[in-house]
């Protein structure tokens, strides 16, 4: 007997973060009870998301074009770069409105204990960016966790000999906590109080 289409939808929805089986069931019934056009649009959007969203060639942020909206904004200072682990961290910093430079998304962190070494970080792209844009300062906004600190120290080690100022966002961001869940005022203070690495 084929699995019930409703059960299948519930199972798929329940795999999303923060969605338990109860919420998944509620969402599935909501979609089924609503306009078929909405269900089709939702399905089409999900099905094509990987094809339509690209990684910015310059910073690794997500966008619809080769270069993202931040990298093509002439009002943003290209000589100050904020390095983050993941795109949701970039989004959190943008929401705080405390940074007017540009970004570089590492899409990962050093994790020596898990065998993730420097060769897995996009260092070549970062160094190219530094020379092409005449970057003066890199603010490392990785999480204040063991991996985040190891990554910050490694970036400082590589970038400082090139004559760059390398700074680290200040504490105040909860220790080990993700930037994504840090409130805007705290994030703003963490930027203002950044210290040299
Ligand atoms: Zn970009």
If pLDDT is split at 50, 70 and 90, which confidence band does 16 have?
A: very high
Distance 36 CA to ligand 1 centre (A): 36
Element (H, E) at 84: strand 77-84
DSSP assignment letter at 10: H
* Arithmetic mean of pLDDT, 44-56: 95
Q: What is the pLDDT of residue 8?
A: 96
Q: What is the pLDDT of residue 116?
A: 87
HSE-CB at 46 with a 13 A cutoff on CA atoms is: 9
Distance 71 CA to ligand 1 centre (A): 4
In CATH, the number for domain 62-196 is 3.40.1360.10
Q: What is the pLDDT of residue 175?
A: 56
pLDDT at 1 over 70: no
* Arithmetic mean of pLDDT, 120-133: 94
Distance 123 CA to ligand 1 centre (A): 16
Distance 55 CA to ligand 1 centre (A): 8
Distance 73 CA to ligand 1 centre (A): 9
Distance 165 CA to ligand 1 centre (A): 21
Distance 66 CA to ligand 1 centre (A): 8
**Token code pair at residue 131:** 């020379």
What does the pLDDT look like over 150-180, one tens digit per residue? Answer: 999 999 999 999 999 999 987 666 655 577 7
What does the pLDDT look like over 58-67, one tens digit per residue? Answer: 999 999 999 9
Dihedral pair phi/psi, residue 65, rounded to 5°: -120, 180
Residue 88 to residue 193: CA distance in whole angstroms: 22
Contact status, residue 73 vs residue 127, Cβ threshold 8 Å: no
* Arithmetic mean of pLDDT, 78-82: 96
DSSP assignment letter at 113: G
Distance 32 CA to ligand 1 centre (A): 38
Residue 52 to residue 47: CA distance in whole angstroms: 10
* Arithmetic mean of pLDDT, 88-107: 93
What does the pLDDT look like over 172-187, one tens digit per residue? Answer: 666 555 777 777 777 8
pLDDT at 35 over 60: yes
Distance 67 CA to ligand 1 centre (A): 5
**Token code pair at residue 103:** 């970004």
Q: What percent of the residues of the chain are helix, what percent strand, and what percent coil, each to the nearest 5?
A: 50, 15, 35
Q: What is the pLDDT of residue 190?
A: 79
Domain ranges across the chain = 5-52, 62-196
Tell me, which fold does domain 5-52 have in CATH?
A: Helicase, Ruva Protein; domain 3 (1.10.8)
pLDDT at 109 over 70: yes
Q: What is the pLDDT of residue 158?
A: 95
Check if 5-52 and 62-196 are the same fold. Answer: no
Distance 16 CA to ligand 1 centre (A): 27
Look at the alpha carbons of 30, 31, 33, 38 in this order and tell me if their dihedral is positive or negative. positive
* Arithmetic mean of pLDDT, 142-156: 91
Residue 179 to residue 171: CA distance in whole angstroms: 11
Task: Label the pairing between strands 54-55 and 62-63.
Answer: antiparallel
Distance 121 CA to ligand 1 centre (A): 17
Distance 104 CA to ligand 1 centre (A): 8
Instruction: Identify the burial level of 125 via C-beta atoms within 10 angstroms of its C-beta, where 0-12 means exposed, 13-18 middle and 19 or more buried.
Output: middle
**Token code pair at residue 170:** 């200040």
Distance 172 CA to ligand 1 centre (A): 27
């Amino acid at each position: 007997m084929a699995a019930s289409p409703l059960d299948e939808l519930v199972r798929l929805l329940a795999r999303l973060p923060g969605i338990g089986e109860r919420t998944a069931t509620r969402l599935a019934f909501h979609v089924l009870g609503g306009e078929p056009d909405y269900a089709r649009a939702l399905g089409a959007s999900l099905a094509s998301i990987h094809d339509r969203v690209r990684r910015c060639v310059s910073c690794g942020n997500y966008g619809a074009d080769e270069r993202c909206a931040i990298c093509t904004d002439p009002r943003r200072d290209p000589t100050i770069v904020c390095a983050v682990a993941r795109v949701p961290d970039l989004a959190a910093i943008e929401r705080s409105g405390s940074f007017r430079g540009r970004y570089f998304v590492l899409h990962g962190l050093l994790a020596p204990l898990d065998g993730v070494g420097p060769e897995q970080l996009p260092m070549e792209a970062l160094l190219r960016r530094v020379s092409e844009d005449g970057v003066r300062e890199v603010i490392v906004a990785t999480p204040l966790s063991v991996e985040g600190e190891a990554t910050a120290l490694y970036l400082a080690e590589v970038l400082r000999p090139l004559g760059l100022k390398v700074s680290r966002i200040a504490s105040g961001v909860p220790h080990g906590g993700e930037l994504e869940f840090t409130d805007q005022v705290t994030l703003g203070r963490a930027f203002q109080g950044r210290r040299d690495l």
